[in-house]
Amino acid sequence: MATEEPRSGARAVDRAIGVLSCFEGDPELSVSELAHLADLPVSTVHRLAQALVRGRLLEQDPATDRYRIGHGLASLARPALGRLGLDSAAPHLYALAAGIGITVSVSMAEDRDAVTVFQARPPVYFCPNQLPRDRRPLRDSAAGHALLAFSPFDTIAEEHAARRDTRPARTAGLHTDLDRVRRSGFATELMPTDDPIRAVAVPIVGPDKRVRGALAVQARSARLNAELIRNIVPAMRITAGRIAPLFQTVGGATDSAELESR
């Protein structure tokens, strides 16, 4: 049976969602940049962007005509943040970001990925290298390792990963990495790019001893060196301890029964 073509209204909604998705990482984009990212005609993107501005989901800088995320989108997201406990945690996260001069992010486990659910930027020293990707595999990211290493279901998660990857060396490497994270109390990751980026993550452990998420930072490795890591990890741990009781829910992958059923 042929797939039913979306009606014009549904197609417009899909395109508007595509335009909004271009703003992951909170950039400011021109209409031509938006058209390129969304793979849509400039005229279509202009019409959609103006409708989103009227709905307060986007804002347009009057000086540059560039678009950015609007306050209306934050208002819509506030109930979800409240359910996660992130509305109460936000002041602590912004204070940490200001204190260490690096964007602070919170990730939760979902479908064997570490998903970024909140970012707090510092008032100074910000650069795009500090913004994590929206979703990273648990086994391949600093936030993911912090989630796995300090979770009671870590062996289950590792067994799932091992069944997906039959290379013994990689599975053994994951065990070694997680052991190292448990000993040190934090996870690190070096992302090899032209200008390498390093990430550091600590677990957010609730009063019930369950891991609620991971608190992470990332920056150019030339800046986020061993000395800076030693200086900021204690503050990260203190903040993680302060916000842990505020979290109301945990990510889907942190439920061992659910993992076993998959």
Assess contact for 77 and 67: CB atoms under 8 A: no
Per-position DSSP letters for 65-96, written without gaps between them: --EEE-HHHHHHHHHHHHHHTHHHHHHHHHHH
User: How confident is residue 253, by pLDDT bands cut at 50, 70 and 90?
Assistant: very low
- On whether both 134 and 181 belong to a single domain, the answer is yes
pLDDT tens-digit map of 104-156: 999 988 878 898 888 888 877 667 788 888 888 898 899 999 999 887 654 44
Q: What are phi and psi of 191, to 5 degrees?
A: -95, 110
| pLDDT of 248 strictly over 50 | yes
The reported pTM is 0.64
| CA 83/CA 81 separation, integer angstroms | 5
Is residue 3 one of the residues assigned to a domain? Answer: no
| pLDDT of 258 strictly over 50 | no
Is residue 14 one of the residues assigned to a domain? Answer: yes
- On whether both 107 and 201 belong to a single domain, the answer is yes
Give me the CATH number covering residue 57. Answer: 1.10.10.10
| Domain stops at, among 31, 47, 69 | 69
Comparing 150 with 222, which gets the higher pLDDT?
Answer: 222
- On whether both 148 and 107 belong to a single domain, the answer is yes
Q: What is the total count of domains within the chain?
A: 2
- On whether both 118 and 61 belong to a single domain, the answer is no
Is residue 2 one of the residues assigned to a domain? Answer: no
- On whether both 106 and 210 belong to a single domain, the answer is yes
Residues forming beta bridges with residue 215, ordered by sequence position:
106, 202
Is residue 1 one of the residues assigned to a domain? Answer: no
Tokens standing for residue 163: 């069944």
| CA 108/CA 105 separation, integer angstroms | 10
- On whether both 119 and 247 belong to a single domain, the answer is yes
Q: How many residues does the chain have?
A: 262
Domain that holds residue 176: 78-261
Tokens standing for residue 142: 């600093």
> What letter represents residue 16's amino acid?
A
Mean confidence (pLDDT) of the chain? 79
Is residue 201 one of the residues assigned to a domain? Answer: yes
